[in-house]
Amino acid sequence: MISPDIAVEITSPGQSANALFRRCRWYSANGVDISLLVDPDDESVLAFLSDGSIREWRGADRIDLDTIGPGFDLTVEAYFASLVE
C-alpha cells in the first residue's frame, strides 16, 4: 500500500481532540510523512512527523513542509488570516 505524503485533520465542534491526536499519531506510525492537526480555536498547528516527533506551530511560525513540498512558505497566522468565516 502506498501512503500519502501528508494527512490533515482539522478540529471542529463535537470532535474529540484526543481522538484526532491519536489518529495523527497513527498516520505517522503507518507511513505518512507528516500529519497536521489544525486547531482553529487556538490558531495552532501540530505536526506529527514520521520519526515520531511532534512540533507545534503558532503565530509567525512557518508551517514547515520542506520534506514533502520544498519551497512551501506559509505561516500559521497567514493561514488563519486567509480563512473566511
pTM: 0.91
Residue 83 has pLDDT above 90, yes or no: no
Does residue 1 form part of some domain? no
Predicted local confidence at residue 62, as pLDDT: 97
CATH code of residue 69: 3.90.1570.10
Q: How many domains does the chain have?
A: 1
Alpha carbon distances (Å) from 37 to 1, 7, 83: 23, 9, 16
Does residue 52 form part of some domain? yes
Predicted local confidence at residue 84, as pLDDT: 67
Residue 1 has pLDDT above 80, yes or no: no
Q: What is the pLDDT of residues 51-74, one digit of tens each?
A: 999 999 999 999 999 999 999 999
Cell representation of residue 41:
480555536
